[in-house]
Amino acid sequence: MSFRKALLAATVIAVPASAMAQTSPAPVTGLYIAGGAGVNWLMDRDIEARGGNRTYFTDRNTNAYGETRQDTGWGGAVALGWGFGNGVRAEVEGNYRQNEVDKIGGFGGPTTSRAFRNNGGDIRQYGVMANAYYDFNIPNFPVVPYIGAGAGYIWTEYDGVRGTRQAAGSNSVVIDGTDGSFAWQGIAGAAYPIRSVPGLALTLEYRYMGTLEPNLNGRVVNPQGQTVSSGKYRADNAENHSIFLGVRYAFNQPRPAPVAAFAPAPAAQAPAPARTYLVFFDFDRADLTDRARQIIADAAQAVQSTGTTRIEVAGHADRSGTPQYNQRLSMRRAEAVAAELSRRGITRDQMSIQAFGESRPLVPTADGVREPQNRRVEIVLR
């Protein structure tokens, strides 16, 4: 649409209400908080006995190797983030995961058995990650899929991880220790915005998280609980698969436009179409030009001649400037038009005054573009 055509459209135009409504979820803009929890699967982990423990498990000058298998556990995460209004989000996250050890095996050698009994203990992982996301805001689709990736630092804690060799009177392996290491994760999820509470959304995520190898203190104890060997155990890279259900709240989300409800007309006569007047503004201005005052005068005259009972005044802005500034600018423009309507005999209680900032462009543009057709106020007579 050319600018000349837009000026011609500033006269009386019939526009269906549904054409002006935005049915797609708006991109996350500004500050948000998020949290979620669910199940976590920590994959089998190889463990390497080192130092004194190495010499206990094998008569060769080599390290001994075992393995732990974990039960299904649980985890959760909370985050503070920022949405850039174009589908991109960034956040800082704190997370926690815990799995109980089901079995210990391995550490084979001339003096040991490969099977253990009295297995138990917990493996905990917790730390901080920095994440980046991209939201796929699909037109007329109520769910917003997204993908993300993150990196950070995770502490791995082995708490009472133990196993006893099968033979009666045998010694036990006990691992207790905490070590931190670099970690990374990949995320795929979907958000379902709650229309009745702007900014609130339910989320469902799959997460893959891995860490580098932690080095942990451990020992071998006899049936009387006395330590017969001590040293280090190095666990291999951790692989976690998690499914989290959560919520997210964005503080600056615009209220969605009301969607007209359609019902069968009780009478054969169709209702009169809505009449829309477009009032345009100069860049970064909210004052009325002579042409704008003439359009407002035409709208006021139409109100009085047609008996209109509801007048909607909606302010808009282009994408030059921050979303927060444009929200305020569009409200000043709407108030300027409402004041001129009041001067021409339209009472304030007849008007519904709203501001949508840059969220509903007449002409879609990239961020930062100055577009004259988007600097407008729409007067809709119903």
Residues 367 and 326: beta-carbon distance below 8 Å: no
One-letter-per-residue 3-state SS of the chain: CCHHHHHHCCCCEECCHHHHCCCCCCCCEEEEEEEEEEEEEECCEEEEEEEHHHHHHCCCCCCEEEEEEECCEEEEEEEEEEEECCCEEEEEEEEEEEEEEEEEEECCECCECCEEEEEEEEEEEEEEEEEEEEECCCCCCCCEEEEEEEEEEEEEEEEEEEEEECCCCCCEEEEEEEEEEEEEEEEEEEEEECCCCCCEEEEEEEEEEEECCCEEEEEEECCCCCEEEEEEEEECCEEEEEEEEEEEEECCCCCCCCCCCCCCCCCCCCCCCCEEEEEECCCCCCCCCHHHHHHHHHHHHHHHHHCCCCEEEEECCCCCCCHHHHHHHHHHHHHHHHHHHHHCCCCHHHEEEEECCCCCCCCCCCCCCCCHHHCEEEEEEC
Q: How would residue 103 be classed by pLDDT, with cut points 50, 70 and 90?
A: confident
Q: How far apart are CA 310 and CA 289, in angstroms?
A: 25
Structure-token pair, residue 15? 């526009």
pLDDT at 279: 93
Q: Exposure of 309 by Cβ count < 10 A (0-12 exposed, 13-18 middle, 19+ buried)?
A: exposed
Residue 266 has a pLDDT of 59
Span 196-210, pLDDT tens digits: 999 999 999 999 999
Q: What is the pLDDT of residue 265?
A: 57
Residue 13 has pLDDT above 90, yes or no: no
- pLDDT above 70 (res 354): yes
How far apart (Å, rounded) are the C-alpha atoms in residues 328 and 67?
61
CA atoms within 13 A on the CB side of 251: 8
Which of 225-234, 235-244, 252-261 has the lowest average pLDDT?
252-261
CA distances from 283 to 277, 306, 319, 324, 372 (A): 20, 33, 11, 16, 7
Mean pLDDT in residue range 83-88: 93
Q: Region 94-112: what's the mean pLDDT? A: 80
Give the model's pLDDT for residue 159.
94
Question: Which of 29-43, 157-171, 235-249, 254-268 is predicted least confidently?
Answer: 254-268
Q: Cα dihedral angle (373, 376, 381, 382), rounded to 10 degrees?
A: 80
Whether 49 shows a pLDDT value over 90: the answer reads: no
Residue 169's CB: how many other CB atoms inside 10 A? 8
pLDDT of residue 42: 96
Domains of the chain: 3-22+257-262+270-381 (3.30.1330.60), 29-250 (2.40.160.20)
The neighbouring-strand residues paired with 123 are 99, 158
pTM tops 0.85, yes or no: no
Question: Higher confidence at residue 350 or residue 165?
Answer: 350
- pLDDT of 307 strictly over 60: yes
pLDDT given for residue 374 in this prediction? 92
The model's confidence at residue 257, banded by pLDDT at 50, 70 and 90, is: low
pLDDT band of 271, cuts 50, 70, 90: low
pLDDT-above-70 percentage for the chain: 85
Q: How far, in Å, CA of 255 to CA of 343, rounded? A: 29
Predicted local confidence at residue 119, as pLDDT? 85
Identify the pLDDT of residue 253.
Answer: 79
Asked if the model's pLDDT at residue 298 lies above 60, the reply is yes
pLDDT for the residue numbered 16: 38
pLDDT band for position 113 (cuts 50, 70, 90): very low
* Mean pLDDT, the chain, integer: 85
* pLDDT reported for residue 304: 85
For the cut 70, the answer to whether the pLDDT of residue 287 exceeds it is: yes
pLDDT over 70 at 382, yes or no: yes
| Contact call for residues 26 and 256 (beta carbons, < 8 A) | yes
Across the range 214-221, mean pLDDT stands at: 91
Over residues 330-341, the pLDDT tens digits come to: 999 999 999 999
Q: How many Å apart are CA 124 and CA 111, to the nearest integer? A: 31
Nearest-angstrom CA–CA distance, 336 and 377:
9
Phi-psi region of 339 (alpha: psi -120 to 50; beta: other; left: phi over 0): alpha
Q: So what's the pLDDT on residue 255?
A: 67
pLDDT at residue 106 is higher than 90: no
> Burial level of 13, CB count in 10 A (0-12/13-18/19+)?
middle
pLDDT of 272: 60
- Distance between CA 83 and CA 148 in Å, rounded? 13
